[in-house]
Homo-oligomer: A and B are copies of this chain.
């Protein structure tokens, strides 16, 4: 569970509801079926048009990713890579075969397997960078679905409000219901702006954040794999990889002295 996604959503919507209650309003007065149909129907329709069916099928997976907290422990990764570098220097790259079969991360495993198979260093870099580039491209397109929805929702809200006003103004005879009718018209704006800013755009932001962390983790991984393959001194491997991290994230210096 990604706490900030979940709590942020609860907190945001909660703030909205609490505010209504404090003000003495009733939450049910914010419910409008026509506004709901228009804003979410229109947003889904407009968003779907811009993507392919295959891309749209990922929406559930993408939501799951936004609400899941995948930890990328770079300090632990660096320690593993340094150990690989030491073993490779002592016993040769082939000695890493059994370690590699136990690696959980697919990206690290594939890269190390290529190295053990004796693939040319340039080719390893090219294959793994291609993988990273297109992984990022796919993730950005995924976040793009929610960004598109976050762009369309407020305009659907405006369409709903304008349509409501047109309806109201075209039937001014009954002035008693004028106020409530205009109030209802504004609910579409509320749905559009609210869903965009409390759901679609923050989810797109979280997807990009998760992507940034993952790509960053894999950049460290790739640099480490290539350093192991090049037979770099383990201390150099560590120095190179620690440069990616914020000072406070770096592996403890004690571990360095142990070696």
Q: Tell me the A residues contacting B by CB distance below 8 Å.
A: 2-5, 7-16, 18-20, 22-25, 29-30, 33-35, 37-38, 40-42, 44-53, 55-56, 69, 106, 114, 119, 123, 126-128, 130-131, 134-135, 137-138, 141, 148, 152, 155-156, 158-160, 162-172, 178-180, 182-184, 186-187, 189-190, 193-194, 196-198, 201-206, 208-209, 212-213, 216, 223, 236, 239-240, 243-247
How many copies of this chain does the complex contain? Answer: 5
Check if A206 sits within 8 Å of B50, measured CB to CB: yes
Check if A183 sits within 8 Å of B198, measured CB to CB: no
- Give the residue of B19, B138, B178 whose beta carbon is less than 8 angstroms from that of A38: B19
Check if A163 sits within 8 Å of B180, measured CB to CB: no
Please, which residues of chain B bring their CB within 8 A of the CB of A187? 166
- Give the residue of B3, B152, B201 whose beta carbon is less than 8 angstroms from that of A46: B201
Check if A52 sits within 8 Å of B128, measured CB to CB: no
8 pairs of A and B residues whose beta carbons are closest in the complex: A15-B41, A12-B45, A50-B205, A49-B202, A172-B179, A8-B49, A8-B48, A19-B38
Q: Could you pull out 13 A-B pairs where Cβ atoms are within 8 angstroms? A: A4-B52, A5-B49, A8-B49, A12-B44, A20-B34, A46-B197, A137-B216, A155-B193, A156-B197, A162-B193, A165-B186, A167-B183, A172-B179
Known: A42-B12, A49-B5. A179 touches B170 (CB 8 A): yes
In the complex, A16 Cα to B15 Cα: how many Å?
26
